[in-house]
Structure 1
Amino acid sequence: MAVFHLSSTKYIMPQNHHLLDNIAIVLVNPKYPENIGSAARAAWNMGITRIIVVANEYPNHERMIKLATHNAAHLIDAMEFHENLGDALQPFSRIIGTTARKGKHRGPGNSPRDIMKIILPLLPKNQIAFLFGAEDRGLTNEDLKYCHFRSAIPTSGFSSLNLAQAVAIHCYEIFHAVIHEQKEISPKPRLATSYEVENMFKYVESSLNQIDFLREKSHDYYMLNIRQFFGRMELQSKETKLIQSICRQLQSPQHNDKK
């Protein structure tokens, strides 16, 4: 049980706090370095230590540190930086995109608390990433293609939250779930990572192109639905490799000669 003090941000970590090491906060194209610092501070207050930034250039360090304060400055110093989102997400088995925007291609959003019920059984053996988009436009559809779930924070009326607020709410829900609910769930096995799944999709797409299933006008539509279909499955590494092997066989010259 965590013990909080009104005069301090310090707390006694629960015995299963190591599960928080499997959580990463991924900030995609943040506009202001100060918001990265504020997000790091919010994450550190809830025991989450992994911050990843995806952007075209490395953000100003001093401006990040200023809002992180001395408490979370070490998270900024250890921050991972990538120019490509796909590269940043390679180690993760489940990816949650946070978004307030709605659209026919975005799918339904779950509340942060409902999302925690989904990911808790995965935490012991899987790395989980929470994606947060730019302050002015959020995550794009291209960003969301990597995501298995969408998380939307319920609000009353005015729905806009700033980046640090959104990070803080999700980090609190993660921390709360690990403390109060972890003992009640049965752990699930390690799932395929994003790197493994994306490799599988390359083979699937190539095979479908070879049989002319993905016509130019419907290519994105079909691939999105295929991604969503596989995303609902809890694929393990060996299963992605099996699908790749089937696709390779379908594309082999020997197979095509038998047609």
Structure 2
Amino acid sequence: MPSETRQPAFVLVRPQMGENIGAASRAMWNFGLDRMRLVSPRDGWPNPSAVAMASGAGRLLDEAQLVETTAQAVEDCDLVFATTARMRGLTKPVYSPEQAMKEAAERIAQGGKVAVMFGPERAGLENSDVALANALINVPVNPEFPSLNLAQCVLLCAYEWQRASSEIEALRVEMAGAEWASGIEVEKLAEHYEERLTEAGFFFPEHKAESMKLTLRNLWSRMPLTREDVKTLHGVMRQMVRWKERG
């Protein structure tokens, strides 16, 4: 059975190649989506090529809903998006994938049902399909080469759905068992270098010494140092002093 997580249905309208259906299922499952609806696949259904291409997303294909017409695929939905690279002279709002999936998440949170339609590989959705949609999704691509592979378009929308419906870390640092240095540890490192560099006559001329020290302190505070980094930098300075004293 499809997951109980509330999510949009992704509708593949008259897809032509089983491989592309399988690739689309993988793209959906990458981002936790498993509500696929198929409208009259050209090569029939089930399709061995789709299963082979789906790899670990085969369950999604097993549970895909098969219907004969686009209208049947979206009849239970109150918000329907149509993905298209061309503006077809129809008066409809046009969303980016990001904004469309934000709108989808808001509607679903309110109890609504949402579908996103993707057209066949050769020519995309027909006007009769697009007419069933409330809004369009247009991907900002190279105008000289606007055509997207079916699975690529599914992947873009699935990714934006996950961004809109869950907390995504914009940036993280893999610490690999390390810990960030504390403020006092960085301060002690700064003092160590300042003392040794003073002894070496680094802060010259004298009237610029305070400014140079401030610059160095700012450098340490700006660097994202781990405790291991601090130990290493202490060790570097100690070894340089020992080497100098041996000379």
Q: TM-score, normalised by structure 1?
A: 0.59
Cα displacement string for residues 149-191 of structure 1 (whole angstroms, at most 9, x for unaligned residues): 100111134211100000000000001110139xxxxxxxxxx
| Structure whose alpha-carbon radius of gyration is higher | 2
Equivalence for 1:192: none
| Equivalent residue in structure 1 for 2:53, among 52, 67, 74 | 67
CA 1:40–1:59 in structure 2 vs 1: closer, same or farther (change >3 Å)? same
> Is residue 115 from structure 1 mapped to residue 93 from structure 2 by the alignment?
no
Deviation (angstroms), 1:119: 2.1
Structure 2: unaligned runs, 5 residues or longer: 169-247
Equivalence for 1:206: none
In the alignment, is the contact (CA less than 8 A) between 1:35 and 1:163 conserved in 2?
A: yes
AA aligned opposite 1:87: Q
Query: Aligned to 2:165, what secondary structure does the other structure show?
Result: helix
Equivalence for 1:136: 122
In the alignment, is the contact (CA less than 8 A) between 1:26 and 1:129 conserved in 2?
A: yes
| Equivalent residue in structure 2 for 1:152, among 113, 138, 147 | 138
Query: Aligned to 2:76, what secondary structure does the other structure show?
Result: coil
| Equivalent residue in structure 1 for 2:84, among 99, 103, 109 | 99
> Is residue 171 from structure 1 mapped to residue 158 from structure 2 by the alignment?
yes
In the alignment, is the contact (CA less than 8 A) between 1:28 and 1:132 conserved in 2?
A: yes
Query: Aligned to 2:142, what secondary structure does the other structure show?
Result: coil
Deviation (angstroms), 1:109: 2.4
Cα displacement string for residues 115-159 of structure 1 (whole angstroms, at most 9, x for unaligned residues): 123222211211211000011111111001110110011113421
Query: Aligned to 1:53, what secondary structure does the other structure show?
Result: strand
- Runs of 4+ more than 3 Å apart: none
Cα displacement string for residues 45-97 of structure 1 (whole angstroms, at most 9, x for unaligned residues): 1000111100166335211101101x100011111100111112122111100
CA 1:108–1:126 in structure 2 vs 1: closer, same or farther (change >3 Å)? closer
CA 1:30–1:106 in structure 2 vs 1: closer, same or farther (change >3 Å)? farther
User: For 1:123 and 1:49, how far apart are their aligned partners in 2?
Assistant: 15
Query: Aligned to 2:166, what secondary structure does the other structure show?
Result: helix
1:216-235 residue pairs with structure 2 within 5 A? Answer: none
User: For 2:91 and 2:41, how far apart are their aligned partners in 1?
Assistant: 25
User: For 1:103 and 1:64, how far apart are their aligned partners in 2?
Assistant: 31
In the alignment, is the contact (CA less than 8 A) between 1:113 and 1:173 conserved in 2?
A: yes
Q: TM-score, normalised by structure 2?
A: 0.62
Equivalence for 2:20: 35
User: For 1:48 and 1:144, how far apart are their aligned partners in 2?
Assistant: 23
In the alignment, is the contact (CA less than 8 A) between 2:102 and 2:165 conserved in 1?
A: no
AA aligned opposite 2:10: I
User: For 2:96 and 2:133, how far apart are their aligned partners in 1?
Assistant: 15
In the alignment, is the contact (CA less than 8 A) between 2:13 and 2:38 conserved in 1?
A: yes
Structure 1: unaligned runs, 5 residues or longer: 1-16, 182-259
In the alignment, is the contact (CA less than 8 A) between 1:22 and 1:126 conserved in 2?
A: no
Kindly tell me the number of residue pairs found equivalent between the two proteins.
Answer: 163
Deviation (angstroms), 1:18: 5.5
CA 1:59–1:52 in structure 2 vs 1: closer, same or farther (change >3 Å)? same
In the alignment, is the contact (CA less than 8 A) between 2:94 and 2:137 conserved in 1?
A: yes
In the alignment, is the contact (CA less than 8 A) between 1:39 and 1:163 conserved in 2?
A: yes
